[in-house]
Amino acid sequence: MDAKEFLGMETVGDELHWRLTVTPEVSTPGKFLFGGCGLGAGLVALEAASGRPAIWATAQYLSYAPTGSTVDYEVVLAVVGGHITQGRAVARVDGQEILTVNAALGTHQVDVHGVWVTAPEVPPAEDCPPRQIPPMFANSILDRIDVRLAKGYGFDELEGPGGDPCSALWARVPGHLAPSAATLGIFGDYVSGGASQPLGRRIMGRSLDNTLRVVQLEPTEWVLCDIRMHAVVGGYAQGIAFLWSEEGTLLATASQSLSIRFWPEGAADALVARGGPGSPRDR
């Protein structure tokens, strides 16, 4: 399964125009398009239209695409150079712009190499417990991505003292063995969940942006999302994830800004009783 198939994307006439139906499989538990899938879809379209791999991409979220809606992506290749293409993919629902993905794509060979960050020391994925998904989060993208908690609090442990701002989880799409910029963009959206870790409380987060910087791609079944929160001030949080292969190769970095608020006291019990989340972007 590649990212195009995972997301359910199809071209509309040519590779400058794409369509995505927001099924539950690419939605948040709140019944809206998962932000990482919005970025991933834009990357699928931009890479296909340009014929070049992504180097950098950022998505700015303007509005929501509810489950059941159709998202139309229009690609504009603004500059096509000898090594680099710069372009954007504008996503609309019923003519309303909901997100814009800007990207640089291309290849360039220079005989230098260096990586100056290191992966955290965590157990391999097979030795980590599956991350428990609350029943009210079923029938969403959280069911499709296999996640193992490598470092940090589980969902049921997030009502206590604050913890380390650094957490880590292993993620994979079963059957998808070769990471792409699009799949790394999807995994990078887990940065938002990392804001709960240092606070020791469950939060609801609305992503303002997702930015992906691709370092190199190599085959790996599991991707380690090494999440490092930088700050939570004035109701906004910022953080970054270093995305590593099982062999310890740095694949990409993913950063994000989001607005946050705490779950109301007793909200988890109420959600279970009601059978669903109360916010479009519950984390």
Residue-level pLDDT at 161: 72
pLDDT in tens, the chain (283 residues): 789 999 999 999 999 999 999 999 999 988 999 999 999 999 999 999 999 999 999 999 999 999 999 999 999 999 999 999 999 999 999 999 999 999 999 998 888 889 999 999 999 999 999 887 777 778 899 888 999 999 998 877 777 677 899 999 999 988 776 789 999 999 999 999 899 999 888 888 889 999 999 999 999 999 999 999 999 999 999 999 999 999 999 999 999 999 998 877 655 544 434 333 333 333 3
Do the domain assignments include residue 77?
yes
Q: Which two tokens stand for residue 5?
A: 């198939």
Do the domain assignments include residue 41?
yes
Do the domain assignments include residue 280?
no
Residue-level pLDDT at 267: 54
Per the structure, the count of domains in the chain is 1
Bridge partners for 73 per DSSP: 18, 91
Do the domain assignments include residue 119?
no
Residue-level pLDDT at 272: 39
Do the domain assignments include residue 137?
yes
Residues 6+ apart with CB under 8 A from 266: none
Note down the domain range covering 32. 3-107+124-274
- Cα(143)–Cα(266) distance, integer angstroms: 24
Do the domain assignments include residue 279?
no
Residue-level pLDDT at 271: 44
Task: Write the CATH number for 208.
Answer: 2.40.160.210
Do the domain assignments include residue 283?
no
Do the domain assignments include residue 115?
no
